[in-house]
Amino acid sequence: MNEKVLEKLASLMQGTIPEKIDLESDDAGADRKLGETVNQLIDFMQEIHAFIVPLSRGELHGIRIQSRNFLASPFKELHSRLLHLAWQATRVAKGDYEQRVDFMGDFSEAFNSMIISLEQNEKALKNKIVELEKALAHITKLEGILPICSNCKKIRLEGADPKVQGSWIPIESYLRARTEAQFSHGICPECVKKLYSEFMD
Amino acid sequence: MFNEERKKTAFQWKDLGDIQAGRPNLGLTVPVLAYRLLQYTLRDVLISEVGIDRANEIFIKSGRLAGAQFCRNILNRELGFHEFIAQLQRVLKEQTIGILRIEEADMEHMRFTLTVAEDLDCSGLPFTDEVVCHYDEGFIAGIFETYTGKPFSVREIDCWASGERVCRFDARQVTIDR
């Protein structure tokens, strides 16, 4: 029996799950209890192996250690925490920045910083959008064909009767009402010559 | 008030008294030891007097009453579900009751898997292949019921005492067939 036990233990230590000891064989005898214990250990290790391999591939659902396998406790705890992190990540993906990961060491720190950064970035982007929308609201786009008097350069208001004088407004008034532009008034050299030639040397 | 006969529970939050005024020197908190001493001696006596099933029922019922009052008096019930969960997690941590973590949430069927680590009732107990957090089952049910206004069933599926190192609960809204 001792040889069989050593063989099974060596196999476990090499990372392979051995066949269980055949307790019905003749040499089981007085060491049956030892054989049963080793077989239970093999069961536990088999169960852990079947659990941890998919977990290491990131498969969090559909794996479970059913029996009261105390050896597997830390792996179950790890599984539980990974499930929680996956749920948290799902919530963050949906824009829920209220969640925090507590007491999970480096994970908590990294995850919580990520949530805070995402929230701050989103807030900054939203603020920027609001600013841009406000700016956009102040800018009136001028496009299309403007009807303009070829002599006095007044603009005819859209849809207004061209035969009524009130339909025509100075170009300064037109642009001031539709843009942020302001006007200062001066006279160009050509007009000075035309209007005030008597004052010129 | 505390010694009146009654057929229905009558606990109110104000029955807890003004702890701040009553314990100006010793403060608001006590060691977990004191809580467990009460919990496990009470459990022991209840089991010996009324049997395991009845004792567990009493713990669940008491927990439910506590959860409902806790929700009503400590938590903001106006929040949306996920905000409410974040709040619950924060408050349970602040009150050093336990570390709440949601593993799965099926909002369509109102079914949740959640864990409570470093649980007040059981963390550190010897492994005995049993689940023991009946009070927690009731407590969580009471919170969910008070928040949603719907009946909830909460069952502990893993426990520190059963060797899981964490308490895992399955909480689901109970559908009442009419």
Residues A90 and A11 in one domain: yes
Q: Can you give the CATH number for the domain in which B73 is found?
A: 3.30.1380.20
Does residue A143 lie within any of the structural domains? no
Question: Is B90 within 8 Å of chain A by CB?
Answer: yes
Is residue B80 within 8 Å of A94, Cβ to Cβ? Answer: no
Residues A185 and A170 in one domain: yes
- For residue range A164-201, what is the model confidence (pLDDT) as tens digits? 999 999 988 888 887 778 888 888 888 888 888 887 76
pTM above 0.80, yes or no: no
- For residue range B54-76, what is the model confidence (pLDDT) as tens digits? 999 999 999 999 999 999 999 99
Cβ B163–A103 below 8 Å, yes or no? no
Does residue B7 lie within any of the structural domains? no
Nearest CA in chain B to A76: B164
Nearest CA in chain A to B169: A80
Residues A26 and A61 in one domain: yes
- Expressed as residue numbers, the domain containing B81 is 29-173
Residues A24 and A79 in one domain: yes
Chain B residues lying within 8 Å of A100, measured CB to CB:
86, 89-90
Nearest one of B143, B94, B140 to A100, comparing CA atoms: B94
Does residue A44 lie within any of the structural domains? yes
Residue range B69-91: average pLDDT?
95
Residues A169 and A192 in one domain: yes
Q: Which of B91, B100, B104, B156 to mutate to test the interface with A (most CBs of A within 10 A)?
A: B104
The highest-confidence range among A95-104, B19-28, B52-61, by mean pLDDT, is B52-61
Does residue A31 lie within any of the structural domains? yes
**Residue B24 binned pLDDT confidence (cut-offs 50, 70, 90):** very high
- The distance of Cα B150 from the centroid of its chain, to the nearest Å, equals 17
Nearest CA in chain A to B102: A84
Residues A28 and A81 in one domain: yes
Does residue A168 lie within any of the structural domains? yes
Cβ A68–B162 below 8 Å, yes or no? yes
Supply the pLDDT for residue B8: 92
What is chain B's length?
178
Does residue B60 lie within any of the structural domains? yes
Model ipTM value = 0.80
Does residue A121 lie within any of the structural domains? yes
Nearest CA in chain A to B164: A73
If one counts the domains in chain A, the total is 3
Does residue B152 lie within any of the structural domains? yes
Cβ B165–A77 below 8 Å, yes or no? yes
Supply the pLDDT for residue B176: 73
Does residue A182 lie within any of the structural domains? yes
Residues A50 and A112 in one domain: no
Does residue A149 lie within any of the structural domains? no
- For residue range A28-77, what is the model confidence (pLDDT) as tens digits? 666 788 888 899 999 999 999 999 999 999 999 888 887 678 888 889 88
Is residue B63 within 8 Å of B136, Cβ to Cβ? Answer: yes
Nearest CA in chain A to B83: A98
d(CA B167, CA B155): 10
Supply the pLDDT for residue A141: 66
Full DSSP string of B63-99? HHHHHHHHHHHHS-TTS-HHHHHHHHHHHHHHTTS-E
Q: Which of A68, A82, A92 to mutate to test the interface with B (most CBs of B within 10 A)?
A: A68
B49: pLDDT strictly greater than 90: yes
B132/chain A closest Cα distance in angstroms: 14
Residue range A15-23: average pLDDT?
88
Q: How far is it between the farthest Cα atoms of chain A?
A: 138
Cβ B86–A98 below 8 Å, yes or no? yes
B152/chain A closest Cα distance in angstroms: 21
Supply the pLDDT for residue B84: 95
If one counts the domains in chain B, the total is 1
- Expressed as residue numbers, the domain containing A33 is 1-94
Residues A14 and A71 in one domain: yes
Residues A9 and A85 in one domain: yes
**Residue A15 binned pLDDT confidence (cut-offs 50, 70, 90):** confident
B6/chain A closest Cα distance in angstroms: 42
Does residue B15 lie within any of the structural domains? no
B102: pLDDT strictly greater than 70: yes
Residues A13 and A52 in one domain: yes
Is residue A42 within 8 Å of A8, Cβ to Cβ? Answer: yes
Full DSSP string of B97-144? S-EEEEEEEETTTTEEEEEEES-TTTTTPPP-S----HHHHHHHHHHH
Residues A2 and A88 in one domain: yes
Residues A13 and A42 in one domain: yes
Cβ B165–A99 below 8 Å, yes or no? no
Nearest CB partner across the interface for A74, out of B115, B127, B165: B165
Cβ A70–B104 below 8 Å, yes or no? no
